[in-house]
Chains A and B, each alone.
Chain A
Amino acid sequence: MKALMLGLTLLVLLMPASAQQGGERGLDNVLELVRDMPVEQSLRQATASALRDAVPAGRASPEVAYRYVSLARDLPPAEATSALQTLRAGLEGGLLVDRLMNEALKGDAMSLPWDQIGGVLELRLAFLLAARSEIGELQLGVEVCPQTLRQATLEVGWAASDHVLQQESPDDVAGMTSRAAERLVRLRGAAPCPDTVDAVLEALTHELVGQIAARALAQKEN
Chain B
Amino acid sequence: MRYKELDQLLHESLREERAEARDLLEGMEHTVTVKLASRLSGRPSWRKWWRMLSHPPLAMRGAVAVGIVLALAVGFLAGRMWGPGGFGFEETTGTMFAVAAPQAESVSVKGDFSAWEPVNLEDRGSGVWTAVIELPPGRYEYAFVVDGRWVGQDPVADEYVRSFGEYASVRYVEGDR
Binding site for B on A (CB under 8 A): 6, 10, 13-14, 17, 63-64, 67, 98-99, 102-103, 105-110, 112, 116-117, 120, 162, 165-166, 183, 186-187, 189-190
A77 to B163, CA, bound (A): 25
- A10-B164 in contact given A67-B115, A106-B112, A189-B174 (Cβ < 8 Å): no
A107 to B77, CA, bound (A): 40
What is the minimal beta-carbon distance from A6 to any residue of chain B, in angstroms? 8
> Are B77 and A106 neighbours in the complex by a CB distance under 8 Å?
no
Which of A6, A13, A99, A186 has its CB near the most chain B CB atoms (within 10 A)?
A186
Q: How many residues of B contact A (CB 8 A)?
A: 28
> Are B164 and A116 neighbours in the complex by a CB distance under 8 Å?
yes
Contact partners of B168 in chain A: CB under 8 A: 106
Q: Which residues 56-93 in B have Cβ within 8 Å of A in the complex?
A: 66, 69, 73, 76-77, 80, 87
A1 to B163, CA, bound (A): 58
A13 to B174, CA, bound (A): 35
4 cross-chain pairs, A with B, having the tightest CB-CB distances, nearest first: A105-B116, A102-B112, A67-B115, A109-B116
Contact partners of A187 in chain B: CB under 8 A: 139
> Are A109 and B110 neighbours in the complex by a CB distance under 8 Å?
yes
What is the minimal beta-carbon distance from B114 to any residue of chain A, in angstroms? 9
- Interface check B175, CB cutoff 8 A: yes
Contact partners of A105 in chain B: CB under 8 A: 112, 115-116
A96 to B69, CA, bound (A): 48
- Interface check B50, CB cutoff 8 A: no
> Are A14 and B76 neighbours in the complex by a CB distance under 8 Å?
yes
A186 to B170, CA, bound (A): 12
Contact digits for B135-177, partner A, Cβ 8 Å, 1 yes 0 no? 0011101010000001000000000011110101000101101
Q: State the majority secondary structure of interface residues on B.
A: mixed
Q: List 6 A-B contacts (CB under 8 A).
A: A98-B112, A102-B116, A108-B116, A162-B161, A165-B163, A190-B172
A17 to B66, CA, bound (A): 24
Which of B116, B117, B138 has its CB near the most chain A CB atoms (within 10 A)?
B116
Contact partners of A67 in chain B: CB under 8 A: 115-117
> Are A107 and B164 neighbours in the complex by a CB distance under 8 Å?
yes
What is the minimal beta-carbon distance from A118 to any residue of chain B, in angstroms? 11
Binding site for A on B (CB under 8 A): 66, 69, 73, 76-77, 80, 87, 110, 112, 115-117, 137-139, 141, 143, 150, 161-164, 166, 168, 172, 174-175, 177
A17 to B138, CA, bound (A): 25
A162 to B172, CA, bound (A): 17
A29 to B92, CA, bound (A): 34
A106 to B161, CA, bound (A): 12
A112 to B166, CA, bound (A): 11
What is the minimal beta-carbon distance from B115 to any residue of chain A, in angstroms? 4
> Are A186 and B139 neighbours in the complex by a CB distance under 8 Å?
yes
Pick the residue among B76, B115, B164, B172 that contacts A64 (CB under 8 A): B115
> Are A165 and B77 neighbours in the complex by a CB distance under 8 Å?
no
Contact partners of B76 in chain A: CB under 8 A: 13-14
> Are B73 and A162 neighbours in the complex by a CB distance under 8 Å?
no
Pick the residue among A17, A108, A120 that contacts B163 (CB under 8 A): A120
> Are B174 and A102 neighbours in the complex by a CB distance under 8 Å?
no
> Are A190 and B137 neighbours in the complex by a CB distance under 8 Å?
yes
A105 to B117, CA, bound (A): 9
- A166-B141 in contact given A14-B76, A102-B115, A106-B112 (Cβ < 8 Å): no
- A162-B163 in contact given A63-B115, A109-B110 (Cβ < 8 Å): yes
A13 to B172, CA, bound (A): 36
What is the minimal beta-carbon distance from B28 to any residue of chain A, in angstroms? 53
A63 to B117, CA, bound (A): 11
- A190-B174 in contact given A98-B112, A99-B112 (Cβ < 8 Å): yes
